[in-house]
């Protein structure tokens, strides 16, 4: 049961300190680790409860290999192994996708 927080504003309405405070407030939902992402329009926070991939490689917010997409996610993709296999995670990689973890979140990010 992870915790996610976020802001979106086209006029820079939010401050980084606000997302930090919000993310700290949901630490009980994800005591294993936490992280944040900020750009000019969006600020995302995540508190992680590590279940599937216990390594730091599966920490969130997670950025796609292209750098175009960022995700914070609370849920579970039950068939993530099958989806990962389809895109080459299991079969030694694919030219289109390079997975850095074995988490279910990364499967939906790419």
Residues known to be catalytic: 2
Burial 30-61 (b: 16+ CB within 10 A, else e): beeebbbbbeeeebbbbbbebeebeeeebbbb
């Amino acid at each position: 049961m992870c915790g996610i927080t976020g802001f979106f504003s086209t006029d820079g309405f939010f401050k980084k300190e606000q997302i930090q405070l919000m993310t700290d407030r949901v630490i009980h939902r994800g005591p294993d680790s936490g992280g944040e992402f900020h750009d000019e329009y969006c600020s995302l926070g995540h508190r992680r409860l590590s279940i599937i991939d216990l390594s730091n490689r599966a920490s969130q917010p997670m950025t796609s290999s292209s750098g175009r997409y960022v995700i914070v996610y609370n849920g579970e993709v039950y068939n993530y192994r099958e989806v990962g296999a389809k895109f080459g995670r299991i079969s030694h990689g694919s030219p289109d996708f390079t997975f850095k973890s074995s988490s279910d979140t990364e499967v939906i990010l790419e």
